[in-house]
């Protein structure tokens, strides 16, 4: 069956569940773990649920349906899921709520086995390749009152046209590709998300034009390796239709830059090994593409990088940064770093600190290496003891925090263009927005500035946010 037909079939299930819910307004909760791709998938689950008559609630005890969209990139996600399932067991016994678990962790056989034996009250288990079939799974669970396990161990297809209920009406995420072919030796993602495949240029442009029409100002393009967009298709001679000149990641940025109404374009994550010159040039010349680039480093040591299968050296990474800094005015960088990869010595870890000192990242997402079943890293014998991992993590954290403090000072007295996102969470009298470099800025202003870009003078800095003052009237 082709994907269009499958989606049509699911629409029938949507209507069937809606019919079941007629004259009722059942409520659902959804808990999402993991990356922005998972959050985007959750927005699609919410879109399907609302079409089936469900209403979202934050209160677990009033829900008729509880959903988890899981992540398995690090071990702590598992602890969180099993803790939550313990809590839900009571609600299941008291009022018979439906419990559905989906996402990356469900692609791991040992986890699904554990759910079946230790948490048999879970109703629906669905994987990353069967998200679009959620209406059918839910319908069968309700009507046939049986357990549903809907997981496919395949590469997965691209499904277009799923309903979506977005979390924000200012910023929107747009998934441009699924899966990953890189197999970094620590990482579970390629095993749970399947092989890399790109969405068609036309579908992406169409979606972003719609978003612009609906008033969205900022778009984040998502994928595990965004700068290899359409690469697999070209390598394997898989037919795709060029649209508005889009046949690569660089041309995609250029085409989106032309869409009226969109003011900012961000993307996560690119891979340093695929950062070709055309992408650097596109970032430099497209005024809407934010000059904050997330460039995952993982380790600053060439030997560790080789063991990680990252396919670049310390020098290549630093040279790329240099080249980007030269070509892209006002470039800022953020990164991901793993400490305590198997075999990493103190001296090798020093190379990571060295790169951090040299590059001066705007933001660093730091992770302690976590063994993932089925990855080459898990089978390596020279695992680093936990206490050493923690010492290194704290050393890196101290360096990063001192750099952020230093860097924040540079903002004081500057004028920053800020996209206003809403009221500040901690103080409803203040507004909050973000700079091009994704820094949070809090300031006083009237509510009609929400969803506008304005110029703010930065007056003070704090570790995780800046304070601003309105400098000029709107743009």
Residue ranges binding ligand F3S (CB under 6 A): 34-35, 37-38, 71-73, 104, 189, 192-193
Residue 232 Cβ, how far from ligand F3S at the closest point, in Å?
17
Q: How far apart are CA 438 and CA 423, in angstroms?
A: 17
State which residue, 42 or 408, has the beta carbon closest to ligand F3S. Answer: 42
Q: How far apart are CA 178 and CA 421, in angstroms?
A: 28
Residue 377 Cβ, how far from ligand SF4 at the closest point, in Å?
11
The reply to whether 271 sits near ligand SF4 by the rule CB under 6 A is yes
Options 182-190, 356-364, 393-401, 461-469: segment touching ligand SAH (CB under 6 A): 182-190
The reply to whether 367 sits near ligand SAH by the rule CB under 6 A is yes
Residue 298 Cβ, how far from ligand SAH at the closest point, in Å?
6
Helix (H) or strand (E) holding 348: helix 346-359
Options 115-123, 185-193, 319-327, 350-358: segment touching ligand SAH (CB under 6 A): 185-193
Q: Of ligand SF4, ligand SAH, ligand F3S, none, which one sits near residue 190, judging by CB under 5 to 8 A according to partner kind?
A: ligand SF4
Q: How far apart are CA 196 and CA 155, in angstroms?
A: 8
Tell me which residues in 197-226 interact with ligand SF4 (CB under 6 A): 224-225
Other Cβ atoms closer than 10 A to 102: 28
Q: Of ligand SF4, ligand SAH, ligand F3S, none, which one sits near residue 121, judging by CB under 5 to 8 A according to partner kind?
A: none
Reduced to 3 states (helix: H, G, I; strand: E, B; else coil), residue 445 is coil
The reply to whether 269 sits near ligand SAH by the rule CB under 6 A is yes
Residue 39 Cβ, how far from ligand F3S at the closest point, in Å?
9
The reply to whether 355 sits near ligand SAH by the rule CB under 6 A is no
Q: Of ligand F3S, ligand SF4, ligand SAH, none, which one sits near residue 37, judging by CB under 5 to 8 A according to partner kind?
A: ligand F3S
State which residue, 171 or 372, has the beta carbon closest to ligand SAH. Answer: 372
Q: How far apart are CA 82 and CA 119, in angstroms?
A: 9
Q: How far apart are CA 410 and CA 406, in angstroms?
A: 7
Q: How far is CA 121 from CA 31, 81, 85, 262, 334, in A?
A: 18, 14, 9, 45, 42
Residue 129 Cβ, how far from ligand F3S at the closest point, in Å?
12
The reply to whether 356 sits near ligand SAH by the rule CB under 6 A is no
The reply to whether 183 sits near ligand SF4 by the rule CB under 6 A is yes
Intra-chain end-to-end CA distance of the chain, in Å: 51
Q: How far is CA 21 from CA 65, 137, 330, in A?
A: 12, 15, 53
The reply to whether 189 sits near ligand SF4 by the rule CB under 6 A is yes
Q: How far is CA 101 from CA 106, 115, 124, in A?
A: 7, 10, 6
Task: Please say whether the dihedral angle defined by the alpha carbons of residues 178, 182, 187 and 190, taken in this order, is positive or negative.
Answer: positive
Phi, psi of 298 (to 5 degrees): 70, -55
Q: Is residue 453 within 8 Å of 475, Cβ to Cβ?
A: yes
Other Cβ atoms closer than 10 A to 186: 25
The reply to whether 180 sits near ligand SF4 by the rule CB under 6 A is yes
Q: How far is CA 349 from CA 42, 313, 382, in A?
A: 36, 14, 15
Residue 73 Cβ, how far from ligand SF4 at the closest point, in Å?
8
Residue 76 Cβ, how far from ligand SAH at the closest point, in Å?
10
HSE-CB at 434 with a 13 A cutoff on CA atoms is: 16
Q: Binding ligand SAH by CB under 6 A: which of 372, 389, 392, 434? A: 372
Tell me which residues in 37-96 interact with ligand SF4 (CB under 6 A): none
Q: How far apart are CA 73 and CA 371, in angstroms?
A: 9
Options 110-118, 325-333, 365-373, 407-415: segment touching ligand SAH (CB under 6 A): 365-373
String of DSSP letters for 151-187: ---S------------S-SSEEEEE-EE------TT-
Residue 369 Cβ, how far from ligand F3S at the closest point, in Å?
15
**Size of site (CB under 6 A) for ligand SF4:** 10
State which residue, 187 or 359, has the beta carbon closest to ligand SF4. Answer: 187
Q: Of ligand SAH, ligand SF4, ligand F3S, none, which one sits near residue 270, judging by CB under 5 to 8 A according to partner kind?
A: none
Site for ligand SF4, rule CB under 6 A: 180, 182-184, 187, 189-190, 224-225, 271
Residues that bind ligand SAH (CB under 6 A): 73-74, 186-187, 189, 224-225, 269, 271, 296, 298, 336, 338, 367, 369-370, 372
């Amino acid at each position: 069956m082709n994907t269009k037909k499958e989606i049509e079939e699911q629409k029938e299930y949507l209507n069937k569940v809606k019919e079941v819910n007629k004259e009722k307004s059942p409520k659902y909760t959804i808990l999402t773990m993991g990356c922005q791709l998972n959050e985007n998938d959750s927005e699609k689950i919410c879109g399907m649920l609302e079409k089936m008559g469900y209403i979202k609630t934050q209160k677990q005890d009033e829900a008729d349906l509880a959903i988890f969209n899981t992540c398995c990139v690090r071990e702590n996600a598992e602890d969180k899921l099993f803790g939550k399932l313990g809590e839900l067991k009571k609600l299941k016994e008291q009022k018979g709520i439906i419990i559905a678990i989906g996402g990356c962790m469900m692609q791991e056989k040992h986890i699904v086995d554990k759910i079946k034996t230790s948490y048999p009250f879970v109703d629906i288990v669905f994987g990353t390749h069967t998200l679009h079939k959620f209406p059918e799974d839910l319908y069968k669970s309700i009507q046939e009152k049986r357990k549903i396990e809907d997981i496919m161990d395949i590469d997965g297809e691209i499904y277009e046209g799923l309903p979506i209920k977005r979390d924000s009406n200012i910023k929107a995420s747009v998934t441009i590709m699924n899966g990953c072919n890189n197999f970094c030796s620590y990482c579970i993602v390629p095993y749970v998300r399947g092989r890399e495949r790109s969405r068609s240029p036309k579908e992406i442009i169409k979606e972003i034009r719609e978003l612009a029409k609906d008033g969205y100002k900022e778009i984040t393009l998502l994928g595990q390796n965004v700068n290899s967009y359409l690469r697999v298709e070209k390598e394997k001679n898989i037919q795709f239709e060029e649209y508005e000149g889009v046949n690569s990641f660089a041309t995609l940025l250029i085409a989106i830059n032309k869409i009226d109404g969109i003011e900012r374009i961000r993307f996560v994550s690119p891979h340093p090994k695929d950062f070709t010159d055309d992408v650097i040039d596109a970032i430099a010349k497209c005024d809407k593409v934010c000059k904050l680039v997330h460039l995952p480093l993982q380790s600053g040591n060439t030997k560790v990088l080789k063991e990680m299968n990252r396919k670049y050296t310390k020098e290549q990474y630093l040279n790329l940064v240099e080249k980007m800094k030269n070509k892209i005015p006002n470039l800022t960088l953020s990164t991901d770093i793993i400490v305590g990869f198997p075999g990493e010595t103190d001296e090798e870890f020093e190379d990571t600190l060295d790169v951090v000192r040299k590059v001066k990242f705007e933001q660093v997402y730091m992770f302690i290496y976590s063994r993932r079943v089925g990855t080459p890293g898990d089978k390596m014998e020279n695992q680093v003891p936990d206490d050493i991992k923690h010492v290194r993590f704290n050393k890196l954290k101290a360096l990063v925090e001192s750099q952020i403090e230093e860097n924040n000072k540079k903002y004081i007295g500057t004028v920053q263009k800020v996209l206003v996102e809403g009221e500040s969470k901690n103080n409803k009298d203040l507004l909050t927005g973000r700079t091009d470099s994704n820094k949070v800025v809090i300031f006083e202003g009237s509510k009609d500035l929400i969803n506008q870009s304005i110029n703010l003078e930065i007056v003070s800095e704090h570790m995780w946010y800046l304070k601003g003052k309105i400098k000029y009237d709107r743009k």
